[in-house]
Amino acid sequence: MNKYEGGFTLIELMVVMAIIGILAAFSVPVYQGYVVKSQINRVVGELSKYKAGFEEQVSISGNVTNSDLRFTPSDLTTATPGTDIGQLNGDGSGRIAVTLGGNSHPHVHGLSVMLERSASGHWACKLDNSLVASNWQSMYLPDSCSL
C-alpha cells in the first residue's frame, strides 16, 4: 500500500496566500487610481460635448443656460438642471464648470472641472483640486488638463 497522499501542506498554502496578499496590497491602490482618473476623464468628455452649444451662444452674444447647452446632469457631479454650468463674459470668454460628487470616488469629491474659453475661442481644460488636495495624486490629472 502506498503511503503517499496527494495534496498541499499547510505551509505551502500559507505561502501562496501570503503571495496573493502581497500582490493585492500593491494592485488595489493602483486600480483605484485608474478608476479615479477614468472618472475625471469621463467628466471632461461630458463637458466637451457642451462646447458646441456654448459657441452658438457666443455667436449670438446671449447668456448661456443649461437649456442652451442641452445639459444633462452626470451621476459623477453635483450639477443640477436648475443651476447653470456655463458662464459667458462680454468679451466672448467664459467657462463650463462642474464639481465632482455624487457617484464619483470619494478622493475627488469637491474637484472642480472647468473648460475655459478665451476671447479668441481657444478652449483649455483646468482642474481646481483645492478642496481635495490631501487626497490628490498627480496620476489623476488627465493629459489634456492642467491644475
DSSP string, the chain: ------S--HHHHHHHHHHHHHHHHHHHHHHHHHHHHHHHHHHHHHHHTTHHHHHHHHHTT----HHHHT----TTB---TTS--EEE-TTS-EEEEEEB-TTS-GGGTT-EEEEEE-TTS-EEEEEE-TTSTTT--GGGS-TTEE-
Mean of pLDDT values over 53-70: 85
Identify the residue with better confidence: 22 or 133: 22
Q: What is the pTM for the complete model shown?
A: 0.81
Q: Tell me the pLDDT tens digit for each residue of 109-126.
A: 999 999 999 999 899 999
The predicted structure's pLDDT at residue 8: 83
| 62-111 residue pLDDT tens | 788 888 888 999 999 999 888 899 998 888 899 999 999 989 988 889 99
Q: Which domains does the chain have, with CATH numbers?
A: 10-146 (3.30.700.10)
What average pLDDT score do residues 39-67 get?
88
